[in-house]
């Protein structure tokens, strides 16, 4: 019995110690500003009984110069469950947040991708979701050796004068990013 208690205590200590280690290797990020983003919406009306999606095609293009850039599609979640979503209850509810559902970075090659714009916030809801298209660039650290201090900064996304649905942004070093949203 004492041996089992020791094993349980050691396991608990190892889990707590591992949780305290800095596992997060992602770059820091500035908070999302909805005023610098473009609102996206489905063309299919929300009927309150189902949740249809407007399937769009996303074509991205990034210039070869400039900083690392990224387009993101984020959806607002007011009832976010941080841990333990049981369907009927949440073990640890979180704060409301903008959840990134799609991203295309300048460091990766991209072909045309499909994305489903939901018409309703949830199944059976009559509310339309809040969906934003945002543009980001990675601001380099002051010291080249300290890559952990690189921060993703949001920039203004602008609609291009065209009959097509095209948006673009540029980073401070002159690099540009462009996305075309194709609807059927």
Q: What is the pLDDT of residues 100-127, one digit of tens each?
A: 999 999 988 777 889 999 998 877 778 8
**Residue written as token pair 């809801």:** 125
| 32 found inside a domain | yes
Contact between 176 and 66 under an 8 Å Cβ cutoff? The reply is yes
| 21 found inside a domain | no
Instruction: Give pLDDT, residue 50.
Output: 78
Range of the domain at 71: 27-183
| 3 found inside a domain | no
Token digits of residue 161: 């004068």
| 49 found inside a domain | yes
Task: List the Cα angle 127/134/151 in 5-degree steps.
Answer: 130
The total domain count for the chain is 1
| 9 found inside a domain | no
Instruction: Give pLDDT, residue 11.
Output: 61
What is the three-class DSSP state of 148? helix
**Which of 93, 65, 89, 91 has the alpha carbon at shortest distance from 80?**
93
pLDDT range class, residue 12, cuts 50, 70, 90: low
| 6 found inside a domain | no
Contact between 144 and 125 under an 8 Å Cβ cutoff? The reply is no
| 137 found inside a domain | yes
Q: What is the dihedral of CA 9, 14, 20, 26, to 10 degrees?
A: -150
**Residue written as token pair 């660039």:** 137
| 78 found inside a domain | yes
């Amino acid at each position: 019995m004492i041996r089992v208690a020791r094993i349980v205590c050691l396991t608990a200590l190892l889990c707590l110690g591992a949780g305290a280690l800095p596992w997060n290797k992602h770059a820091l990020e500035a908070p999302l500003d909805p005023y610098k983003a473009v609102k996206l919406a489905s063309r299919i009306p929300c009927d309150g009984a189902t949740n249809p999606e407007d399937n769009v095609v996303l074509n991205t293009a990034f210039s070869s110069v400039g900083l690392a850039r990224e387009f993101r599609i984020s959806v607002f979640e007011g009832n976010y469950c941080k841990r333990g979503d049981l369907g009927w209850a949440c073990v640890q509810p979180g704060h409301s947040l903008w959840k990134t559902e799609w991203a295309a970075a300048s460091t990766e090659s991209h072909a045309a991708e499909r994305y489903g714009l939901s018409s309703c916030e949830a199944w059976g809801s009559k509310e339309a979701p809040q969906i934003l298209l945002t543009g980001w660039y990675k601001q380099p650290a002051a010291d080249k050796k300290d890559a952990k201090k690189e921060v993703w900064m949001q920039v203004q996304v602008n609609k291009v004068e065209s009959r097509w649905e095209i948006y673009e942004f540029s980073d401070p070093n002159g690099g540009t990013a462009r996305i075309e949203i194709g609807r059927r």
